[in-house]
């Protein structure tokens, strides 16, 4: 009789125990999956940080060899240098009086004939070259 009760209780308890055992196994699988996801995310973050560092280093190297800032500086300062040099030569008596005015008027008179789209594009390019440089310096 005792064996019959044991067998009956065993048959009732075993399915319940299996449910709890399966539940514990699912919890363990979930924890292992979460740990795997965390590991993958950590590795991806480390790779992303490495890639971001490489990109930043590449940008710094490109900025050191960039010619756009020097070109913008030459284009913008060219008329001033020309005016100062011709003015100094005129003041020293090496150029006739009025030559500086004629040179400066001649330089800028031709800009009236430039198409509007080219003028706007040129101005945007110059502002972009200078603006990016100033923006980068301001961020530092």
Q: What is the pLDDT of residue 73?
A: 76
Summarize pLDDT for 87-103 with one digit per residue, the tens: 888 888 888 888 888 88
pLDDT of residue 136 exceeding 70: no
Separation of alpha carbons 138 and 95, rounded Å? 44
Mean pLDDT value of segment 120-140: 72
| pLDDT greater at residue 120 or residue 53 | 120
> Do 129 and 71 contact (CB within 8 A), yes or no?
yes
For the segment 130-134, the average pLDDT, to the nearest whole number, is: 66
Mean pLDDT of all residues in the chain?
Answer: 75
Distance CA 36, CA 66 (A): 44
pLDDT score at 119: 83
| pLDDT score of 80 | 81
Site of tokens 């020293």: 92
What are 6-57's pLDDT values in tens digits? 665 566 666 656 666 777 888 888 888 888 877 777 777 777 777 777 777 7
Global confidence as pTM: 0.39
Residue 62: CB atoms within 10 Å: 9
Q: How many residues are recorded in the chain? A: 140
Residue 17, both tokens: 């125990």
The CA angle 45-48-49, to the nearest 5 degrees, is: 85
pLDDT of residue 2: 56
What is the spatial distance between Cα 30 and Cα 19, in angstroms, rounded to a whole number? 16
């Amino acid at each position: 009789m005792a064996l019959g009760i044991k067998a009956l209780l065993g048959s009732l308890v075993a399915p319940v125990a299996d449910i709890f055992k399966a539940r514990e196994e699912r919890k363990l699988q979930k924890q292992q999956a979460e740990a795997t996801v965390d590991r993958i995310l950590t590795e991806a973050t480390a790779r992303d940080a490495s890639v971001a560092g490489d990109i930043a280093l590449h940008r710094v190297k490109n900025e050191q060899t960039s010619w756009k800032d020097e070109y913008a500086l030459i284009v913008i300062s060219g008329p001033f240098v020309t005016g100062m040099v011709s003015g100094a030569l005129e003041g020293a008596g090496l150029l006739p009086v009025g030559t500086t005015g004629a040179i400066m008027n001649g330089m800028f008179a031709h800009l009236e004939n430039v198409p509007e789209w080219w003028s706007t594009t040129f101005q945007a390019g110059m502002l972009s070259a200078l603006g990016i440089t100033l923006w980068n310096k301001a961020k530092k």
